[in-house]
Amino acid sequence: MTGLPERTEKKLGLVIDLDTCVGCHACVTACKGWNDQGYGVPLSDQNPYGADPSGTFLNRVHSYAVQLVDAAAQIINFPRSCLHCEDAPCVTVCPTGASYKRAEDGIVLVNEDACIGCGLCAWACPYGARELDQAAGVMKKCTLCVDRIYNEALPEEDREPACVRTCPTGARHFGDFADPESKVSRLTAEREGFALMPEMGTKPVNRYLPPRKKDRPEEASLLAPLLDIKATGLAGWLDRVLGKI
Amino acid sequence: MNPAPSVVIFTVLSGLGFGFLALLGVFGSAGMAAFFLWALGYGLAVAGLVASTFHLGNPQRALLAFTQWRTSWLSREAWASVVTLLLFAPQAVSDWLGLEWGRGFGMAGAAMAFVTVYCTSMIYAQIRAVPRWHHWTVPAVFLAYALSGALVMGAVRPYAAWMLVLLGIALALHWHFGKSAFARAGASMESATGLGRIGAVSVFEQPHTGGNYLMREMIFVVGRKHADRVRMIAMVCSVMLPVLALMFIPGVAAVIVAVAVHLLGALAQRWLFFAEAEHVVGLYYGAH
Ligand code: SF4
Ligand code: SF4
Where along chain B do its domains lie?
Answer: 1-126, 158-288
The answer as to whether A229 is a domain residue is no
Instruction: For residue B136, give every residue at least 6 positions away whose Cβ sits within 8 Å of its Cβ, in sequence order, or none.
Output: B125
**pLDDT tier, A1 (very low <50, low <70, confident <90, very high otherwise):** low
Q: What are phi and psi of A79, to 5 degrees?
A: -70, 135
Q: Which of A47, A54, A113, A188 to mutate to test the interface with B (most CBs of B within 10 A)?
A: A54
The answer as to whether A7 is a domain residue is no
User: How large a percentage of chain A has pLDDT more than 90?
Assistant: 80
Can you tell me the distance from the alpha carbon of B124 to that of B132, in angstroms, rounded to the nearest whole number?
10
A14 lines ligand 1 (CB under 6 A): no
Bridge partner list, A54 = A46
The verdict on a CB contact (< 8 Å) between B55 and A197 is no
Which helix (H) or strand (E) element contains residue B200? strand B199-205
In contact, A63 and B195? CB cutoff 8 Å: no
| Amino acid A218: pLDDT | 66
Q: Tell me the per-residue pLDDT of A142-193, one tens digit each, with 9 for 90 and over.
A: 999 999 999 999 999 999 999 999 999 999 999 999 999 999 999 999 999 9
In contact, B67 and B79? CB cutoff 8 Å: no
| Amino acid B30: pLDDT | 84
Nearest CA to ligand 2 atom 7: A115
Average pLDDT over residues B150-168: 93
Chain B: closest CA distance from residue A173 (Å): 18
Q: Tell me the per-residue pLDDT of B4-63, one tens digit each, with 9 for 90 and over.
A: 999 999 999 999 999 999 999 999 888 889 999 999 999 999 999 999 888 899 999 999
On average, the pLDDT of chain A sits at 93
Average pLDDT over residues A187-207: 97
Cα-based distances in Å from B175 to B2, B68, B125, B136: 18, 32, 14, 12
Cα-based distances in Å from A127 to A79, B33, B187: 11, 52, 11
Q: Which chain B residue lies closest to A94 (C-alpha atoms)?
A: B72
Q: Tell me the per-residue pLDDT of B178-196, one tens digit each, with 9 for 90 and over.
A: 999 999 999 999 999 999 9
The beta-carbon neighbor of B280 closest among A60, A92, A200 is A200
User: How large a percentage of chain B has pLDDT more than 70?
Assistant: 100
Q: Tell me the per-residue pLDDT of B100-145, one tens digit each, with 9 for 90 and over.
A: 898 999 999 999 999 999 999 999 999 999 999 999 999 999 999 9
Bridge partner list, A14 = A174
Average pLDDT over residues A96-120: 96
| Amino acid B252: pLDDT | 86
Cα-based distances in Å from A50 to A136, A224, B4, B208: 20, 57, 25, 15
In contact, B201 and B193? CB cutoff 8 Å: yes
Can you tell me the distance from the alpha carbon of A56 to that of B15, in angstroms, rounded to the nearest whole number?
34
Average pLDDT over residues B279-287: 94
The beta-carbon neighbor of A60 closest among B66, B200, B208 is B208
Where does B53-103 have alpha helices with state H?
Answer: 73-97
DSSP chain A: --SPPS--S--EEEEEETTT-----HHHHHHHHHTTTSSSS---EESTTSSS-EE--S-EEEEEEEEESSS--EEEEEEE-----TT-HHHHT-SSS-EEE-TTT--EEE-TTT-----HHHHH-TT--EEE-TTT-SEEE--TTHHHHT-TTS-GGG-S-HHHHH-TT--EEEEETTSTTSHHHHHHHHHT-B-S-GGG----S-EEEPPPPPPPPPSS-TTHHHHTPPP-HHHHHHHHHHHH-
Q: Using alpha carbons, select from A119, A206, A43 the residue that is nearest to residue B53.
A: A119
CATH number of the domain at A87, please: 3.30.70.20
**pLDDT tier, B221 (very low <50, low <70, confident <90, very high otherwise):** confident
In contact, B77 and B123? CB cutoff 8 Å: yes
Q: Which chain A residue lies closest to B188 (C-alpha atoms)?
A: A197
Average pLDDT over residues B244-248: 91
The verdict on a CB contact (< 8 Å) between A131 and B214 is yes
Long-range CB contact pairs, A20-26, < 8 A, 24+: A20/A169, A20/A170, A20/A171, A21/A61, A21/A76, A21/A77, A21/A78, A21/A79, A21/A167, A21/A169, A21/A171, A22/A77, A22/A169, A22/A171, A23/A61, A23/A63, A23/A75, A23/A77, A24/A168, A24/A169, A25/A61, A26/A166, A26/A167, A26/A168
Tally of CA atoms within 13 A in the half-sphere of A5 that contains its CB: 18
CB under 6 Å to ligand 2: residues?
A: A 93-96, 98-99, 110, 115-121, 139
| Amino acid B66: pLDDT | 93
Count of structural domains within chain A: 1
B288 CB neighbours in chain A (<8 A) are none
The answer as to whether A245 is a domain residue is no
Amino acid at A72: A
On average, the pLDDT of chain B sits at 94
| Amino acid A192: pLDDT | 96
State yes or no: pLDDT of B94 exceeds 90.
yes
Which helix (H) or strand (E) element contains residue B248? helix B241-248
A58 lines ligand 1 (CB under 6 A): no
Residues in chain B: 288
Q: Look at phi and psi of residue A14 and say left if phi exceeds 0, alpha if psi is from -120 to 50, else beta.
A: beta
3-state secondary structure of B199: strand
Between A224 and B214, the higher pLDDT residue = B214
Which helix (H) or strand (E) element contains residue B173? helix B157-185
The verdict on a CB contact (< 8 Å) between B74 and A61 is no
State yes or no: pLDDT of A207 exceeds 70.
yes
Can you tell me the distance from the alpha carbon of B146 to that of A163, in angstroms, rounded to the nearest whole number?
49
Can you tell me the distance from the alpha carbon of A127 to that of A121, in angstroms, rounded to the nearest whole number?
11
Q: What value of ipTM does the predicted structure carry?
A: 0.93
Q: Tell me the per-residue pLDDT of A225-243, one tens digit each, with 9 for 90 and over.
A: 677 677 788 888 888 888 8
Q: What is the pTM of this model?
A: 0.91
Amino acid at A88: A
- For A95, the domain range is 12-209
A26 lines ligand 1 (CB under 6 A): no
Q: How far is the CA of A88 from the centre of ligand 1 (A)?
A: 6
Tally of CA atoms within 13 A in the half-sphere of A189 that contains its CB: 10
Buried b (16+ CB within 10 A) or exposed e, A72-102: eebebbbbbbbbbbbebbbbbbbbbbbbbbb
The verdict on a CB contact (< 8 Å) between B67 and A96 is yes
Amino acid at B48: G
Q: Using alpha carbons, select from A25, A244, A55 the residue that is nearest to residue A136.
A: A55
A89 lines ligand 1 (CB under 6 A): yes
Sort B252 into a burial class: Cβ within 10 Å, 0-12 / 13-18 / 19+.
exposed
Q: Does B126 touch chain A (CB under 8 A)?
A: yes
Can you tell me the distance from the alpha carbon of B12 to that of A155, in angstroms, rounded to the nearest whole number?
56
Q: How far is the CA of A81 from the centre of ligand 1 (A)?
A: 8
Q: Which chain A residue lies closest to B288 (C-alpha atoms)?
A: A126
Handedness of CA B28, B30, B34, B38 (dihedral sign): positive
